Amino acid sequence: MNNQRYFIDKVAIVTGASSGIGLATATLLAKYKAKVVLAARSIEKLEDLQKELSQYTQVISVKTDVSVESDCRNLIQETVKKFGRIDILINNAGISMRAMFKDLDLSVIKRLMDVNFWGTVYCTKFALPYLLESKGSVVGVISTAGYKGLPGRTGYSASKFAINGFLDTLRSEHLYDGLHVMIYAPGFTASNIRKTALMADGSQQGETPREEGKMMTSERVAEIMLNHIRRRSRRATLTFTSKLLLVLTRLFPITTDHMEYWYMAREPDSPFKRRRDIMRERRNHQA
């Protein structure tokens, strides 16, 4: 069975649908003739997207801040009110950060946990009775940072690890109930998540430190995600770099820590770039 046939008339909720992976996923679901529920904070962006996607299928927009429990409850209620069921919940909404923990205002970590982790928990909690009834799919979009801590991303990694553990446990609890739970780790993807990443004081970064053009596109990430939902995969990790990192972490954990540090330190204006330069100076001096 191909994706086109599998997703026809399925009711799918996508959080963080106004941009990036969420937008690409919602668009592809609409083209596959699923009934799509768009959720994000910007209702203006959602309504514009709804108009565009309505040429393919039935679409509704629900203004949702996933860090607010009542918003997530309302999202599920509006979905069931309109369509009477839920087949797929894609917990995609998320924010990132870029700062050393020693410099970080703790409100930044709280914000990341509220959006990334609690947003997933809230939406899943309220959707779960309907997903159990339909034997549907709940998806958590994490990251390589949900398997291996990334320097300069303490709050981001913590929130993604938490999602990983939450959904892994949920799968075990409903092992015999027909519920499909998938943990999806795209790796670095061309999107606006790095532009909106929070700095040490909670302000947005504004500019991406990476070459977005060399990354996997949001559209490709969405396509692979839907393939795995159709196949009811347990986990999916994308990009060669991410897969290699996870293998090396298991085999050579200490060496991988150093490799990861240097890799992340190559970013322009890295929060730990000065430390890297000091270490180079020390090595040169010893030589």
What residues are labeled active site? 156
Amino acid of residue 30: A
Range 239-247 contact pairs with CB under 8 angstroms and sequence separation of 24 or more: 239/186, 239/187, 239/188, 241/187, 241/188, 242/144, 242/185, 242/187, 245/144, 245/148, 246/144, 246/147, 246/148
Tokens, residue 153: 């991303």
Nearest Cα neighbor of 142 from 182, 97, 87 is 182
- What's the rounded Cα separation, in Å, for the pair 145 and 286? 34
DSSP count for the chain of H helices, then E strands = 11, 9
Alpha helices in 113-238 (DSSP H): 119-134, 154-173, 218-231
- What's the rounded Cα separation, in Å, for the pair 267 and 284? 22
Contacts of 140 (CB under 8 A, 6+ apart): 91, 120, 163, 164, 166, 167, 181, 182, 183, 184
**Do 246 and 237 contact (CB within 8 A), yes or no?**
yes
- What's the rounded Cα separation, in Å, for the pair 28 and 32? 6
**Do 52 and 30 contact (CB within 8 A), yes or no?**
no
- What's the rounded Cα separation, in Å, for the pair 277 and 126? 49
